[in-house]
Each structure stands twice: as structure tokens, then as C-alpha cells.
Structure 1
């Protein structure tokens, strides 16, 4: 089950048509399972899963409606939207059907109320409010960093991924992943996490002109952050002992 579902609701994998806890006879017709989540939160760019669970469906049709414009998005396995990010994931366990609406790479504009409907009389429906939070990586400071050859380069990246912690964070030098155990040596990577936030630090000792370039902080399934690093080289000494520095630009 997707971990975006409410913590207080657990999948019922061994459901039976037994009497209710208060002794009433079981319901034989289609009905929603109790305690279904009514709110789902996701970070922009990630998968949002809106849950719908019902028992004894008995051939009834299930539809997902977007309440904002009353647009029918799906009915059974048929999708009525041209947005390829939306799809239904249906599966069955005993008498229980799951009919989840998935929104891949959810954006801020996807936030709103969606309604799962079963075509019974009277209609059975379950509204779910989708909350989409801004998230992604930020490298504080200017987008150009200047460092002298032979000195230390330190880059820090902050990542937010509410409502849950970020996943893995990768540093890229141009398009090549940076590893602490690579051939370059003198590379230190550190990551710390607190709630839905995380920090990733990259340290390079004794930088050379080969270290110049574009550096990317790439969190999994989130917006990356970029910075350009320029290495200043000592190129020419004057007769009075002063030197001019040449900027080595990223390739």
C-alpha cells in the first residue's frame, strides 16, 4: 500500500461479511470501508495516491470526479482525461476492492477535492482533499561561487519535502555523480535530517581547475538546485611581487 495513506488506517487483508461490532447484521450491498482517509498530503513533483475502498462492489461502476469543475476523470478502467499523469490502480482482496486514483508528479494546481463515487441508489461517495506542498532543494547564497586553487570548497544544500522526510540526495559535478570514495580523493559528503527537512553538505579539499564546473544538489523526485563554481588560478607574477588571478569558468 502506498505510504501516503493516513497513518491511522490500515489495509484490511482478511475482511469478512461479519456482524458489526454493535451486533447489527452485516451489510450485503456495496459500501465504503470505515475510517478511510479524507486528506492526502504530497510534495510537488511526487506521486499522490487518493484512496477509495469498498466492499461487495457486485459489478457496480466506480468513478473519480474532480469537484472543482465536476469533471469525470475515470470510470472503472476508462480514463476520460488527456492528462497522462492520472490513472486508476485497482486491486481486490476477498470482498474488498481498492480503487485508488494516482496523480504522478503532482503539481500545486492539482490540489483540491476529488470524489470517489459508486453508482448505487442513493449514490455512495468518498471525498478526498489533496494538499500539495512546495518542496525541493535550495543552495543558499549566490548562484556563482569563487574559490582559490588549493583551498577548500564547501557547498551546503537544504531540501524540504513535506509532509514526509526527503529521500536520497545526490551531488553531481556537471553530469557526473560525486562519491566520497571516487578517484579524486579529498571528498567529504554529509547528510542530516530533521522531520521533513534535510541538509546535504559537499566538501572538496585543495581544489584545482578540474573542480570548476556546475554542481547540482539532486534530491530524489524533487526539484534540484544548481550552483556554478569558478576556480581562481595564479597565472602571472609582476616585478613587484603581486599576482593577477585568472578565473577558470565552468565548461
Structure 2
């Protein structure tokens, strides 16, 4: 038997031995070398599993009227399946993946690069948009998850009393928040009277905005009588809230203005009127 016939016989024997592995697609022969068969798809392991919805999906979304609604649908093992958003009350197909079927230009759909989250976005939300929205995955049979959109009229809230009295030299601390919102506002603005409160050039003023907690805090250190006024907090997606702050000169007895800040009804009407006039007189003379 020649050398060539011996090589062919050896290859034949090896093929018979490893035939089961070749049939299963786990190995291949290349130049008489046995190598693992490469996966035809980088998500090969995920292709062997059915997609499921992530347990952390937030299914109740609360947004303010005229703001932007984001409804995220989180999916594990989506890979090459498509996702359809359906407006359940009308059974209207809104989007399939990133393709928009509805003629409503306010609606769009976005998927992240890892294909783990499909987000339905609705701009300029109104009360007619609230209701159920279905996230449907193209498995056989299809799987779906319902989300509920709540549209509210959001109102900013400044914590504490609506009218406050402080001694000259104390700090004014006003904290504004917007409860019940799923997503923070795009911006907060503070007003003093009818004008936007400009604080960039003031060393004793600080504004702290925290997006996660949807709060904005205005701090005026060592406040003076000139810092008295009507302070308003407003946000991009909420109605404003206001408080009246009185900074009282040191010369005014503390008992006078604390009487009003505590809501005490002590003394006669004429005494309370005299005390109030005294406060205003000091305020006018010190400006």
C-alpha cells in the first residue's frame, strides 16, 4: 500500500470516528486539522432561547401634560425579533422596531444598541394620549406586555410655609420639587417678583438642581432686607409655586415678626396693626 493510499485510509478512519461531531456542527476538518466550528451568529446562545420581558419593567408611566412621554419596554434575549407598539384602546399599530406606521408625527420608537430596550416616545403629550400601550415581540406565538400612560397637570411644590419671616443675616432656603412625575423636568427657573432671578453673579446665592429627585433648591446666604419678596419656582412641565419671604431688620424685635410667622393671634387688632406697620417702616428706611 502506497503512502497516498495510507493517508486516504487514515482520513477515512478519522472521519468515521468524528462523524457524530461533524453532524452536530461542533467541529470541522480543514487541511487535515480538526477545529471547532465557528458560531454563525454572535448571539448564538441567545438564539437558542425565547425572549422574555425584564422583571424591572415600569408599567405605569406618569407624565405632565405637554411634556415628553418615554415608555421603555425592556426585553431579555430579543436578538433578531422585532418589537411592535400598539395603542390598545384602538388596536392601532404605532411602530414596528424603529419604523413608524401611524401618521401622528409626535410618535417615534427607539431601540438601544444592545437591543435590550425598545422605547416608545410621544412628544407634546395630551390627555387623549393616556391609556394602555402594548409592547409585542414577534415570537411564535407572540408575547406582549401592557403599559399604562397617565397624563396629569403637574404642579411645582415649594416645601414649607407659604409666607416666611427671617431675621437679617439668616439664610433663605427654598426647596422646590415636582411630585408624581416619572421623568424630571428639562429645567427649573426661579423668579423674584415678575423677573427671572439671576444668581450667577451673586456670591452669596446658590442653586442646587438634582434631576434624579426632581428638585431645585435656592439658597441665599446672609440674607438682607433687599432679598425680601415673592419667590416663584417653575419648571418645564409644571405649574409654578410661590412663597413670600420677609427679611426683617435686626432692629425689629424678634417677637413681633415671629408672632406673624407662627400665626399667633395674640394681642388686639390695633396692636397687631401697629407691629406690622413698624416692620414695613423699618424695611422702607433700610432700602
TM-score by length of 1: 0.53
1:124 aligns to 2:138 (yes or no): no
Residue matched to 2:80: 56
- Per the alignment, in what secondary structure is the counterpart of residue 18 of structure 1? helix
Question: 2: CA distance between counterparts of 1:214 and 1:224?
Answer: 16
Name the structure, 1 or 2, with higher relative contact order (CA <8 Å, separation 6+): 1
- Per the alignment, in what secondary structure is the counterpart of residue 54 of structure 2? coil
- Per the alignment, in what secondary structure is the counterpart of residue 156 of structure 2? strand
Measure how far apart 1:192 and its partner are: 9.3
8 Å CA contact 2:61–2:149 kept in 1: the answer is yes
Higher strand share: 1
1:157 aligns to 2:171 (yes or no): no
Measure how far apart 1:80 and its partner are: 0.5
- Unaligned runs of at least 5 residues, structure 2: 1-40, 248-276
8 Å CA contact 2:231–2:245 kept in 1: the answer is no
- Unaligned runs of at least 5 residues, structure 1: 1-13, 21-25, 233-241
8 Å CA contact 1:137–1:222 kept in 2: the answer is no
Equivalent residue for 2:104, pick from 60, 66, 82:
82
Runs of 4+ residues over 6 Å off in structure 1? 146-153, 190-193
Residue matched to 1:73: 94
Residue matched to 2:255: none
Question: 2: CA distance between counterparts of 1:229 and 1:35?
Answer: 47
Question: 2: CA distance between counterparts of 1:227 and 1:141?
Answer: 10
Bigger Cα Rg: 2
Equivalent residue for 1:39, pick from 49, 58, 65:
58
Residue matched to 1:235: none
> CA deviation digits over 1:83-113, x for unaligned, max 9?
51x21113554xx575431234656764543
**Alpha-carbon spacing, 1:73–1:158, altered in 2? closer, same or farther (3 Å):** same
**Alpha-carbon spacing, 1:170–1:32, altered in 2? closer, same or farther (3 Å):** same
Question: 1: CA distance between counterparts of 2:104 and 2:135?
Answer: 19
Higher helix share: 2
Question: 2: CA distance between counterparts of 1:154 and 1:73?
Answer: 49
- Per the alignment, in what secondary structure is the counterpart of residue 51 of structure 1? strand
Residue matched to 2:217: 200
Equivalent residue for 2:240, pick from 225, 232, 236:
225
Question: 2: CA distance between counterparts of 1:73 and 1:66?
Answer: 7
Question: 1: CA distance between counterparts of 2:188 and 2:240?
Answer: 11
**Alpha-carbon spacing, 1:218–1:107, altered in 2? closer, same or farther (3 Å):** same
- Per the alignment, in what secondary structure is the counterpart of residue 216 of structure 1? strand
> CA deviation digits over 1:175-201, x for unaligned, max 9?
24435xx33x544657899x9575735
8 Å CA contact 1:41–1:163 kept in 2: the answer is no
* Equivalent residue pairs, number: 204
Residue matched to 1:100: 119
Question: 1: CA distance between counterparts of 2:171 and 2:237?
Answer: 25
TM-score by length of 2: 0.48
